[in-house]
Structure 1
Amino acid sequence: MTDLTGRTAVITGGGSGLGAAIARALHAAGAHVIVVGRDAEKLGRVVDELGPRARALTCDVADAASVDELRARLDGTEVSILVNNAGIPGPVAALTDIDVDDWDEVFAVNVRGTFLLCKALLPGMVARGEGDVINVASVSGKRPLAHRTPYCASKIAVIGLTSTLAFEVGPAGVRVNSLSPGPVQGPRMERNFRLEAERSGTSVDDAEHAFVSRAALGRMVTEHEVGAAVIAMLGMPGMCGADIDLSAGMVA
């Protein structure tokens, strides 16, 4: 396993799901872990689970003032790993039925949040001449997914942000990459399958089967696999500006 002893990582959306799984993987690899999110109770449970070398800071990544406050609270902390994981799935509906406010909320969290955290923490990495940013995108940004236009559009925006930012800060020794998971086992996908079943008039099992049958492995990936992928990416010093597909072959 890649040894991250002595490095400090910030993980947004770190109170549950993929964020918590990534925090566990980073902590197991030796990093000091700072989980960031809006729900102090959830963040506290992750910190209690991890124990030493872990702490929690509340922040609304879509709010510039909240991110500025987070940056101030991190003053003096050498953050060398930033995982922009915070995201929301948004509505499941035809584009013509989506409210403008719902569209804007998806982009505020998924794209604006990534931008604001990079803007806040990259200067320190650039000044020190080293660092890693991993933006969590999705295979849904790279292939059609009907009735999920705001989510898909936001995730392809994250991939575009990643590839461009890599060329801005790569010369300073900072690597920027994105990780695109496919469907991940857990509450979020269960919610999506329920909504799709209601929309299409099928069963939840049928909705799930139709979705995962598109993958070469015929299954979803796990939260543990996503955490392991982050560690693997951090162990590849020559990788910058890449988007890594972790989808069980969803876009093979």
Structure 2
Amino acid sequence: MTRRVLITAGASGVGRAMAEAFDAAGYAVWVTDIDEDALNTVPNHWVARYANVSSESDMSAVFQAIATEGGLDALCANAGTAGPTNAIEEIGLADWRSCVSVNLEGAFLAVKHAAPLMKAAQAGSITLTSSTAGQYGYPYRAPYSAAKWAVIGLMKTLAMELGPHGIRANAICPGAVEGPRMEGVLQREAAAKGMTRDQVYEGYASGTSMGRFVEGHDIGNMAVFLASDAARLVSGQIIAVDGHTVNPDPKI
């Protein structure tokens, strides 16, 4: 029987890389996103739906549709937003709430609606996308870092709560990932720190023992492994895919 996976924010970036990896592994792929243009570019054999992860009605509708198709084997609660890049005293409450809503509440709503389907099957894999910012902190990115730390707390709780039902939960912590989203972060952080974009880029790369950025397929491959039978006893784990961060806030 073909396994089914849902990836939130799966039409582009890291989520798209996850979806492509699951597709290559033989899964039936469902993706949600708020970027309608990106949704229109996904392969025709994927199920692509517009859904805001911060909207309970949107997420409920997605999982109701999945239930009619026979349930869900794997969930990648991947949706996130970079949030503001600024000194803590300059961050507005609305910007804080917006960032936390997507990164934390979006994960909560996804697992809330996935859990009943997986409990019914007494099996399932939940992978939350956190960040190395959820392990070390992240200067000038307080809302993002706080939310990603909370995602790890959510994952640990899910592993304990859902384990008796045969459901595993883990968190992937990507480092700096090549792509448009990180490019925006580089530009904003350079402005906040009075540095050039290239200086910030080199700082991130040199802050890892492998001296390089991560690529989307690195995250996708780990997500597939965590959902596979090869990881059947891997649960409650924080797994960094970051080239080994040795200095989370390098200064150039």
Q: TM-score, normalised by structure 2?
A: 0.93
Please tell me whether the aligned partners of residues 26 and 33 of structure 1 are also in contact (alpha carbons under 8 angstroms).
yes
| Other structure's SS at 1:198 match | helix
CA offsets 1:16-63 (integer angstroms, 9 cap, x no match): 000000000000000000011112331121234xxx3x1101111101
Residue in 2 aligned with 1:167?
A: 160
Structure 1 vs Structure 2 CA RMSD: 1.3
Deviation at 1:202, TM superposition (A): 2.0
| Other structure's SS at 2:232 match | coil
Residue in 2 aligned with 1:241?
A: 236
Choose the corresponding residue for 1:26, options 22, 27, 43: 22
Amino acid corresponding to residue 48 of structure 2 in structure 1:
A
Task: Give distance in 2, aligned partners of 1:98 and 1:203.
Answer: 22
Task: Give distance in 2, aligned partners of 1:67 and 1:229.
Answer: 25
Task: Give distance in 1, aligned partners of 2:122 and 2:195.
Answer: 53
Please tell me whether the aligned partners of residues 15 and 42 of structure 1 are also in contact (alpha carbons under 8 angstroms).
yes
Task: Give distance in 2, aligned partners of 1:196 and 1:10.
Answer: 32
Residue in 2 aligned with 1:40?
A: 36
Please tell me whether the aligned partners of residues 145 and 152 of structure 1 are also in contact (alpha carbons under 8 angstroms).
yes
Amino acid corresponding to residue 93 of structure 1 in structure 2:
N
Unaligned runs of 5+ in 2: 248-252
Deviation at 1:251, TM superposition (A): 4.7
Deviation at 1:74, TM superposition (A): 2.3
Alignment of 1:199 with 2:192, yes or no, is yes
Question: Aligned pairs, how many?
Answer: 244
Alignment of 1:250 with 2:245, yes or no, is yes
Alignment of 1:59 with 2:51, yes or no, is yes
Task: Give distance in 1, aligned partners of 2:111 and 2:40.
Answer: 24
Choose the corresponding residue for 1:114, options 107, 111, 116: 107
Residue in 1 aligned with 2:213?
A: 220
| Other structure's SS at 2:245 match | coil
Question: Identity over aligned residues, as a percent?
Answer: 34
Residue in 2 aligned with 1:74?
A: 66
Alignment of 1:8 with 2:7, yes or no, is no
Deviation at 1:95, TM superposition (A): 1.0
Task: Give distance in 1, aligned partners of 2:224 and 2:238.
Answer: 15
Choose the corresponding residue for 1:138, options 126, 131, 134: 131
Task: Give distance in 2, aligned partners of 1:144 and 1:86.
Answer: 19
Task: Give distance in 1, aligned partners of 2:175 and 2:23.
Answer: 24
Q: TM-score, normalised by structure 1?
A: 0.93
